[in-house]
Structure 1
Amino acid sequence: MQVRATINDVANQAGVSIKTVSRVMNNEPSVSKTTQEKVLKVVKALNYQPNAAARNLAGTKSYAVAFIYDNPNAYYIIDMQNGLLSACNEQGFELLIHPCNAKSHDINAELTEMVKRSRVAGLVLTPPFSEMPSVIETLEKLDVKFVRILSGSGQSDGRSPCIFIDDREAAFAITEHLIASGHQTIGFLCGDKGHNSSQERLMGYKAALKKHGIRIDRSLILAGEYSFESGVNGAKKLLSKEQRPTAIFASNDEMAAGALFAARLMDIDIPSQLAITGFEDSPFSRQTWPKLTTAQQPTSTIARSAAELLIQATRNQSTENNFTIFTPELIVRQSTQAE
């Protein structure tokens, strides 16, 4: 069994103090480039990996990142965790997973207790927490670093590093694809009211209709939630109309899968009688038949970028930009285009 190298081993072989090794591993600017290169060479030779948990217990500085979420989509959560973990592992940080109920009346007290108890270096916030002013104010009072993942095109308020998802542009592209395929009557199934992505995707849909001179029919726009059941119920309502739509744009893939299920129950063929699109390119979009046209959202990459921004912030490392923008890419599949 191979004995794991310790910080003492690195310090002895590099001829420096343990404190210097620690500073190098933390990317602190006070270490000269020559010393840094010498220490990192030994680190690589010994395959030394800092124990983040031990570091958290041993000192005042934390080496843990917390992932805060309230999202029923297991695929999204797993992709987020994988992306966060990849960055944390490379940087010697631990990842704390903390699901919460965003509608809880004591959510701010819960987050305050978690931050103090776990001594996290920072938090990655996903919607709806990233969009809740009370949560942002609570974290600012705690003087803890955080990164927000937000729906938008980059209008940062400067309160934290941000990852923006340009849902509006992607929704515009999806709607234009449906229009280019000959559809004029396009139903829209909205996601959760509490998520800004729902509004951004709806605005992209409306903008495409307006550009092509198509009247916005409010009876074709239904409120809903990011769930399979909501997709089923919404599609049934749209498809029961006397003049039913020839296409349905569901705000995520889970809803789109529900819409497809409802169409099947009503003996409506996809795509010859009805085109259906989703959003996000989750496994739902590839597990249905026909497979769903969607907007590919690189969730793991987004999460990794969020963790990298957060770790830079905890180390007080300056960057040219404290935000990154991702625009989901249109993926055309059989649910809108016959083979």
Structure 2
Amino acid sequence: MAATIKSVAEMAGVSIKTVSRVINKEGTVKPDTLKRVEDAIAALKYTPNKAARDLASKGTSVLGYVYDNPNAYYIIDMQKGILDVCRKNNFELLIHPCDASSKNIAKELVEMVDAAQLAGLILSPPLSEMPLVLSELDANNINYVRILSGDGIVDSALPYVLVNDFKAAYDITTHLIKQGHQHIAFIAGEESHKSTTERFNGYKAALNEAGITLDESLIIKGTYSFETGVKSAETLLGMSSHPTAVFACNDEIAAGTLFGARMKGIDVPNDLAIAGFENSPFSRQTFPPLTTASQPTNEIAQHATSSLIQFLRAKKAKSTADNLNHTFVPELVVRASTEKA
């Protein structure tokens, strides 16, 4: 059986992409790695496929979007935004759902990039925030753009897009305080998402500024799901002195909280104010509609994809692309779920 680029990679103990770099004489491979690959090619008598080599030398025009997120609305908006930019720039898109908790997730992504010959990856949380994944991608010289929760400057040579969850959460909590609420609960999403931490910190900062002591009993751990909201409502409303307001980490949790509250005969917003985050369809399809923070997911996806494509083109031209990074601040949207009659 004729040797393949995969068998060369396995013998040399490197990725397929590294073998491809050696074959195409890109000059970006370390000397010891170069020797291992060349020795494997000689030992296996491997002859590169000319058509494939020619294609690789021209550069691919396929991007990959990898994600692990149960929020269908978020994923749909991300895909629409990415596809819009890809089509305008004659790029194709490979969509790859995955399990970020898998111990082999980094290897899985590297192998996918190699097998599909992807030009780069678009990473959203939590994958964009996992050091082990990023270090493996860097070790294999894989290009990517990250969508991150935070504000300021990120120490990275690769492009990124920030979402200032802290400021938006601060604004939501401040709104609830201005409505007269002192006992405000916080329902969290997964701790693996930095957005959960940033939103919690924004919540705490608003309480602190208003002189309100943080009540740990009002902090509920959960996931970004409707079920978390339903269960949290039961827990919070079962307290002898339950909160008068809830800030849920996303609209899906908030909608579940609203459902749970109504099942117990609680009037929203007169007995309990509820706010969410993201401005997804969940926030507009409930009754009453939910106060939230409008996160422009589609626009975020477009900017991330555009930045990656600009970066790839500049890299190929051996030039520098400017203004690739951007920060979005979700804006407060006040609706009936927090305004008393």
Q: TM-score, normalised by structure 2?
A: 0.82
Give distance in 2, aligned partners of 1:146 and 1:108.
Answer: 13
1:198 correspondence with 2:196: yes
Specify whether residues 264 and 297 from structure 1 end up closer, same or farther in structure 2 by C-alpha distance, changes over 3 A only: same
The one-letter code matched in structure 1 to 2:304 is A
Alpha-carbon RMSD across the aligned residues, in angstroms, is 1.6
> Aligned pair in 2 of structure 1 residues 242, 157: CA closer, same or farther (>3 Å)?
same
Q: Which of 323, 326, 333 in structure 2 is aligned with 1:324?
A: 326
Which AA in structure 2 matches 1:289? F
Alpha-carbon distance change, 118 to 247 in structure 1, aligned in 2, over 3 angstroms: same
Letter paired with 1:188 = F
Which deviates the most, 156-165 or 304-313? 156-165
Measure, in 2, the Cα distance between the counterparts of 1:65 and 1:108. 17
Q: How does 1:1-339 map to 2 (within 5 A)?
A: 58-60=55-57, 61-316=59-314, 318-338=320-340
Q: Distance in 2 between matches of 1:289 and 1:214?
A: 30
What is the one-letter code of the residue matched to 2:335? R
Task: Tell me how far 1:155 sits from its aligned partner.
Answer: 2.9
Q: Alpha-carbon deviation of 1:117?
A: 0.3
Instruction: Write out the 4+ residue segments of structure 1 that deviate beyond 4 Å after TM superposition.
Output: 54-57
Residues 309 and 261 of structure 1: is their aligned pair in 2 closer, same or farther, counting only changes over 3 Å? same
CA distances 1:88-117 after superposition (whole Å, capped 9, x unpaired): 111110011000100111111111110100
Structure 2, unmatched stretches of 5+, are 1-50
SS state at 2:337 partner: coil
1:56 touches 1:63 (CA, 8 Å); kept in 2? no
In the alignment, the residues of structure 2 paired with residue 199 and residue 184 of structure 1 have an alpha-carbon distance, to the nearest angstrom, of 21
Instruction: Give the 3 Å change call, closer, same or farther, for CA 57–294 of structure 1 in structure 2.
Output: farther
Cα contact 1:151–1:200 (8 A) shared by 2: yes
Q: Secondary structure at the match of 1:209?
A: helix
User: Which whole-Å CA distance do the structure 2 matches of 1:238 and 1:204 have between them?
Assistant: 21
What is the SS of the residue equivalent to 1:230?
A: helix
Q: In structure 2, what is the Cα distance between the partners aligned to 1:100 and 1:120?
A: 17
Q: Report Cα offsets for 1:198-220 as digits up to 9, x if no partner.
A: 00000000000000101111111
Q: Name the CA shift for 1:72/1:56 in 2 (closer, same or farther; >3 Å).
A: farther
Q: CA deviation at 1:84?
A: 0.3
| Greater Cα offset, 310-319 or 157-166 | 310-319
* In structure 2, distance between residues paired with 1:109 and 1:320: 31
Q: Tell me the equivalent position of 1:47.
A: none
Match of 2:21 in 1: none
Give the deviation of 1:242 after TM superposition. Answer: 0.7
CA distance in 2: counterparts of 1:236 and 1:151, whole angstroms: 30
How many Å separate the matches in 1 of 2:324 and 2:330? Answer: 20
Query: What amino acid does structure 2 have at the position aligned with 1:335?
Result: S
Q: Distance in 1 between matches of 2:187 and 2:124?
A: 22
Offset, 1:56: 11
**Who is 1:46 aligned against?**
none
User: What's the % identity of the aligned pairs?
Assistant: 52
Instruction: Look up the SS of the partner of 2:338 in the other structure.
Output: coil
Change (3 A) 1:55 1:72: farther
After TM superposition, give the deviation of residue 71 of structure 1 in Å. 0.4
Aligned residues: 286
Instruction: In structure 1, list runs of 5 or more residues that go unmatched.
Output: 1-53
Q: Secondary structure at the match of 1:127?
A: coil
